[in-house]
Chains A and B, each alone.
Chain A
Amino acid sequence: MPLKDFFGKRKKYASIPSEKAKVDVPEGLMQKCDNCKQIYYRKEIVKSLYVCPNCGYHHPMTAWTRIESLFDEGTFKELDAGLTSANPLNFPDYEEKIKKDRQKTGLNEAVVTGTGVIEDNQVAFAVMDSHFRMGSMGSAVGEKITRAIEEARKESIPFIIFTASGGARMQEGLLSLMQMAKTSFAVKRFRDSGNLMISVMTHPTTGGVSASFASIGDYNFAEPGALIGFAGRRIIEQTIREKLPNDFQTAEFQLEHGQIDKVIHRHDMKKTLGKILSMHADGR
């Protein structure tokens, strides 16, 4: 008897909900925390800015939700809204992936930039969105961030960036890597002009983004629990043949190792940024 027949009488389908279903169900009304799995009314978690009321887990935010949570009402003006990726290397499937993410997120790129007012302080701003190509940085992302920093320099206002990125975008090859240099140039010019730059690292901030503008603000902050690091955990474990502790590369780990200034809870973000901005406005 062939081996496959041996299993023939087994039930073919089991009703195990998919990973996606576990998180989404029931869509609309209820939501499950990605961390502690507690179920809440969706409006409850929206009200708490996607921070789990039970365990405090900070769920990733979309760029626009973030903007809404930070800016004084009606003050945000977007820059370069239509800027998006080309396919300079004719990389296979790249255009389709971009198109799909544009439809999925309603964004044209993995970063939204603009100017606005936070607690009465005018700033230029960039917020990355990990829902678009994992927040990866290609030419368009690099260009938008560079332009936003240059705008801040021109207007002599603070620049704030919220990072969320898996790193450089592979499909644009070395053009992506060079965005690290380009954005760092812009930061240098901006910081030399005497203006304030604040970087807030959110989950996840890794690779080429953590190794460029994310780490060179006058102040570098992070949200609780955010993954922050240069190399991926799996690569490091393979290289050093050692299991890494659970808190490796978290915001708290980076704080403990002296790599960031402060971990700021999302509920305190607007207020804290406002205070820091005011202190710098007074001195100038």
Chain B
Amino acid sequence: MAPIMEFEKPIVNLKEKIKELKAFTENSEIDLKDEIKTLEERLAKLEEDIYGNLKPWNRVQMARHPDRPTTLDYVERLFEDFIEFHGDRLFSEDEAIVSGIAYYKNQPVTVIGHQRGKDTKENIKRNFGMPHPEGYRKALRHMKQAEKFNRPIITFIDTKGAYPGRAAEERGQSEAIAKNLMEMAGLTVPIVCIVIGEGGSGGALGIGVGNHVHMLENSTYSVISPEGAAAILWKDAGEAQRAAESMQITAPDLKKLGVIDEVIPEPKGGAHRDIDAQAVLIDQVLEKSLKELKELSSEDIVEERWQKYKKIGSFQTV
């Protein structure tokens, strides 16, 4: 069973109680139908109250939930004949990023995404979804191929950040990300990016420069982790909740700021409660995006992307 987050405990407790009562009625003469009905109504209201009013920190918890679906969960549901390709041709393979080609509604596409593990063993193999430079370079190699063969690019963003390690620095983490930003700017094919979990700073943006950028309702996208910001600003990582609120890192907040295009709704209680349903909800938005972008010429695709990013920012003149 999915680990329970503190804020959803009242719902889980009530669900348990209803289940107990139902089991009790089945095995006894006493009719508790009315009581169960009342409790079920209360449950519906409680779910509405809690899931309908998630605080930024609750969404951070959702985005980090160990059972939260990963890139490959969606790839198998949204695409057909996905074939993964490996390696950056320079140094090595980086399993923190998966990349390959597939059919999306009979159209060949390039699919790239951060890949976390779901247990310790898999997480070690995937380096917790935190890429080294070779991950970004592999992604770029595949994006350039997509351009050559005129395939749209779909990226799934789900990382705490680019890996902060010695080897990553020695091999040019900065340059790898910077180069991706620059090259993605110029790609002549449509790019659609979807943040499915945590969008951790430059490590997320490294595969995140798109014509359209969407976010799942309970995903986050942030310039620095709430803990990191709190440690720097208030010298206390315990102030992470406050930092999460102040930095406006949730999908609804970022939509309001004009940084992202669409907020993709999640099933009640989060994507991990129903991966199939979540895939359908992503599918609807993705299909619309690709259809819109298909209408544009290669030049217009680049121009549209430039116009989008050129506008982002808020400043004043004194």
Contacts and interface: CB of A to CB of B under 8 A. Distances in A.
Given A170-B224, A181-B309, A84 B202 contact: no
A208 B232 CA distance: 16
Contact of A177 (B164, B170, B201): B201
B162 interface: yes
Given A170-B233, A189-B306, A230-B177, A257 B317 contact: no
A188 B313 contact: no
Given A83-B315, A88-B257, A249-B169, A182 B178 contact: no
B164 A170 contact: no
Interface bracket on A: 35 or more
A222 B209 CA distance: 28
A242 B222 contact: no
B291 interface: no
A61 to B, nearest CB: 22
Contact of B257 (A143, A174, A232): A174
A178 B166 contact: no
A91 interface: yes
Given A208-B202, A230-B202, A213 B312 contact: no
A259 B201 contact: no
Q: Which one of B164, B229, B259 has the highest number of Cβ atoms from chain A below 10 Å of its Cβ? A: B164
Q: Which one of A146, A185, A259 has the highest number of Cβ atoms from chain B below 10 Å of its Cβ? A: A185
B166 A168 contact: no
Contacts of A179: 312-313
Contact of B246 (A91, A185, A215): A91
Interface of A: 80, 82-86, 88-89, 91-92, 108, 138-140, 142-143, 146, 168-170, 172-182, 184-185, 187-189, 191-192, 207-208, 210-216, 228-232, 235-236, 239-240, 242, 244, 248-249, 257-259
What are the 5 A-B residue pairs with the smallest beta carbon separation, nearest first? A139-B313, A231-B164, A184-B181, A88-B314, A140-B315
Interface of B: 162-166, 168-175, 177-179, 181-183, 185-186, 201-202, 205-206, 208-209, 221-224, 229, 232-233, 246-249, 254, 257, 259, 305-306, 309-310, 312-318
